[in-house]
Amino acid sequence: MTTVEVPHGSRSVILTVSAVIEETSDSRSIVFAVPEDLRDKFEYRPGQFLTLRIPSDRTGSVARCYSLASSPFSDDAPKVTIKRTADGYGSNWLCDRISAGDSLEVLPPSGVFTPKSFDHDFLLFAAGSGITPVVSILKSALTQGSGKVTLVYANRDEKSVIFAEELRALGEKHAERLTIVHWLESVQGLPTATQLATVAAPFADREAFMCGPGPFMDAVHQALHDAGMPRTSVHAEVFNSLAGDPFADHEPVEISDDEAADAATVEVELDGEVHTLSWPRKQTLVDIMLAKGIDVPYSCQEGECGSCACTVLEGKVEMEHCDVLDPEDIEAGYILGCQARPVTDTLKIEF
């Protein structure tokens, strides 16, 4: 029995596992019971993820992000899905140790891999456990929108297909709107950019979302480019293992008089509200927003998860680490609030 009684920070909560679902021989889903008083805190958008605190004898704990495979519109409770990786401490611990009735420390939902609207058609790509956030978007699009959805799902073989039965049932229920293309390495080999471009070509006017291993994502990016899909219509989810402790409370920053005198001025729009802030040059955007008591979205503060992604509308910033952003994302104005420091004197930023 795994029992956690006290959260390690003010943002995290303890949730009880209501069910564990064996999906394939090396993947399982964990369903959480969310108490009524935490429902608002755990409202989520399709494609977002939860950060779980996993005990470790060596380091005390590790933090791991797992996508929500449930849809907030069609599923009763949030569900994350974990696939074992050969040397993955977090995934193996969760697959070996967690049962219904256990408890885990969890940060609220986060992430920007989510459609802004369901009023259009979708082209979805997933490989292996990359199906997890993609199936959340798929189910939500079918219940909230009226457009067509095409899913291209790559796996090693038929036994590796996560959510096989759920996808089959959705295909039957929404036969006029949903098309599922299964790509099995055991039959067709690894998909190439040229092959995927042929699949994508008829759908270049859609919104594309993708998640999977790096080589697969590279092939899909190239395929969509070759198919003529605008870069602004392509959305990719990238996960890195978190090295720090996002469960620890953020220490308030101390700003000297000299820093305050040389600070930039930034207008930040968050949840429809505009905040005008003084932004010292050596502080990150997340630092100054937290110092002002603003509930800015963030998780790792290391530039590894993308929770704090936002857009520069005016001005310029510099970033130390931003591996989760593609060069095209940065060119389009996307930044990570936990890594951004001001270069210009005035800025406008939107979350």
| 8-22 exposure pattern, b = at least 16 Cβ within 10 A, e = fewer | eeebbbbbbbbebee
Residue 4 has pLDDT above 80, yes or no: no
Q: Is the CA virtual torsion 139, 141, 142, 144 positive or negative? A: positive
pLDDT digits (tens, 9 = 90+) for 78-111: 999 999 998 889 999 999 999 999 999 999 998 8
Please give the sequence-ordered ranges of beta strands (E in DSSP) within 204-271, or none if there are none.
207-211, 234-237, 264-270
Residue 148 has pLDDT above 80, yes or no: yes
Q: What percentage of the chain exceeds 70 in pLDDT?
A: 98
Structure token pair of residue 155: 């796996």
pLDDT digits (tens, 9 = 90+) for 26-77: 999 999 999 999 999 999 999 999 999 999 887 788 999 999 999 999 999 9
Domain 13-108: give its CATH code: 2.40.30.10
- pLDDT at residue 250, as a whole number: 73
Q: What is the mean pLDDT of residues 322-344?
A: 89
Residue 208 has pLDDT above 80, yes or no: yes
- Report the residue count for the chain: 351
Residue 235 has pLDDT above 70, yes or no: yes
pLDDT digits (tens, 9 = 90+) for 314-323: 999 999 888 7
Residue with token string 């019971």: 33
CA distance 222 to 220: 5
Q: Which fold has domain 257-350?
A: Ubiquitin-like (UB roll) (3.10.20)
C-beta separation of 336 from 303 below 8 A: yes
Residue 241 has pLDDT above 70, yes or no: no
Alpha helix (H) residue ranges in 9-108 = 89-97
Cα–Cα–Cα angle for 21, 157, 81, rounded to 5 degrees:
25
Residue 213 has pLDDT above 70, yes or no: yes
Domain ranges of the chain: 13-108, 122-237, 257-350
Q: Helix, strand, or coil here: 250?
A: coil
Q: What is the mean pLDDT of residues 186-201?
A: 97
Residue 243 has pLDDT above 80, yes or no: no
Q: Which fold has domain 122-237?
A: Rossmann fold (3.40.50)
Q: What is the mean pLDDT of residues 186-196?
A: 97
